[in-house]
């Protein structure tokens, strides 16, 4: 299973929510609304979730094993960091 596309949908300058991302797996399955969140120690990728009838947020889709979760997070965060670096470089060029 390969992540074949990562799209940065929205970036936020303020707050702990840094971006909303979509990924495509094997050019055949899209997952939307993955969030890049600044935690207390590090950035992490939060999978799409919805609030249940008890007010608890539950992931709608998520990796089952740790290795897959780590691979997803590494690819997602790398794409986000590349995007931020590119935006910063473009901003520096305009000054």
Q: For 61-87, write each residue's pLDDT tens digit.
A: 999 999 999 999 999 999 999 999 998
Q: Which runs of E-coded beta strand occur in the chain?
A: 3-11, 17-25, 29-38, 43-46, 49-51, 57-59
Answer whether residue 90 shows pLDDT above 90.
no
CB atoms within 10 A of CB 45: 20
Domains plus CATH for the chain? 3-94 (3.30.1120.40)
Q: What share of the chain is helix, strand, coil (3-state, %, to 5)?
A: 30, 40, 30
Tokens 């089952």 sit on residue: 64
Answer whether residue 95 shows pLDDT above 80.
no
Q: What is the C-alpha separation between 39 and 2, in angstroms, rounded? A: 26
26 or 92, higher pLDDT:
26
Q: What percent of the chain has pLDDT over 90?
A: 88
């Amino acid at each position: 299973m390969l992540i074949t596309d990562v799209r940065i949908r929205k970036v936020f300058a303020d707050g702990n929510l840094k971006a909303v991302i979509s990924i495509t797996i094997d050019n055949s399955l899209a997952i939307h609304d993955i969030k890049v969140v600044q935690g207390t120690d590090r950035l992490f990728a939060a999978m799409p979730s919805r609030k249940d009838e008890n007010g608890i947020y539950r992931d709608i889709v998520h990796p089952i094993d740790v290795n897959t979760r780590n691979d997803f997070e590494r690819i997602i965060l790398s794409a986000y960091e590349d995007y931020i670096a590119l935006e910063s470089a473009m901003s520096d060029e305009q000054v």
